[in-house]
Amino acid sequence: MASPAQQSICCLFHNSSVYNGSHFSEVNWSEIKEAYNWICLVSASLSACGAIYQILPRAPRYFPKTQRELDAFVRQRSLIRWLAVADLMAVAGILTRSIVWQAHRIPWRPQQGEANIDFAHLFCAVISGWVMFFYLSTYAWTVCYSFDIMRLVSDKGSKMVLYHICGWVVPMVLTVGGLLPFYLPSLTSCRDGKEHWLPHYLVTYCSILLVIIITPVLYYISSKKVRTSMRRRGLYTNHERRVIQTISSKYFAVTLVFFVCWSPNLVNGILLLFEDKVPSGYFISLWNYMAVVNPMQALLNSLVYRGFGSCTFGGQEAFETENARKRVRKNPREGVQYQSATDFEDSENAPLLSFRAVSI
């Protein structure tokens, strides 16, 4: 599967004793590996395009009118790009793995010599650790984005250093802690037993579950703060209702994308607990489905966070941003500037990014 749980495939096909006597031993993997690899290649290629598009600079069609709006614009764009970088590195790992496997350097080919088997399994372990780290990083940046939204509408500053610690250091610690029990003392073999696979299992599936739970809660708090702020200022007409509706729609879209891409992995984790009672065909179908939706996170994120629009070179974007700074210096108003609901539809300039609530 194109997910952090890829190590289970490495161990499954390299160390037959792990699943000796199970229905997995009866599966003819040579018949399904090519289709699986092609699914990964196509899905990851499309997602790489989406991630690159999200990283590319683009001149905004909405220009901040106050220093607060400008700060919000800059810090939210930064978070979105770091999320896209993690997405891009993850799908790059999937593409590399699929290309190498298409070249028949896979850990479950018994006709290979022992040295080739060890190399194939070593590669599988390393590239899967790469994919696991960067996908855990996307989870962290997704939560950081949601947390920053809550701080934004509460009129609080950014915590970029904390975000980078959560986005890179924490996933590294979790990846190492989840993988070492699997492979020590050698990366070319797997260890059987609950004490070896349980840390990896908990890191993989608990991380997904936490994001699915935490993100909607943060967005709910943010929406509530925005609504309360508007009402306290005496602004809650049909116009403000449309703004709130637009905000809620984008919150829902961000949460839905993560749920669609990663909920199949939770189903897989549950089924693994009853592996002896579930037909192998269920797992194979689920893994192929995960090979589609897991990498698609990058493409779907590019639609949710940025939408479609013209890309520019960095110089033009810097020029536009500097123009916005000059306008802010000439007109340093501190109040919230409400635009029409349609003004908020332009990707990262949506209410998540351009709305700035007063302190409540």
Q: What is the pLDDT of residue 128?
A: 85
Q: What is the pLDDT of residue 305?
A: 84
Q: What is the pLDDT of residue 331?
A: 52
Mean pLDDT in consecutive groups of 10 residues from the start of the chain, 360 residues: 58 48 56 82 94 82 65 84 95 91 64 56 84 95 92 85 96 91 71 76 92 93 82 71 78 92 92 80 86 93 70 40 47 44 44 40
The residues, any chain, with a CB within 8 Å of residue 227's CB and separated by 6 or more, are 236, 244
Q: State the distance between the two ends of the chain, measured CA to CA, in whole angstroms.
A: 46
Cα(283)–Cα(281) distance, rounded to whole angstroms? 5
Q: What is the pLDDT of residue 42?
A: 94
Domains of the chain: 4-354 (1.20.1070.10)
CA 119, 125, 208: angle at the middle one, nearest 5?
165
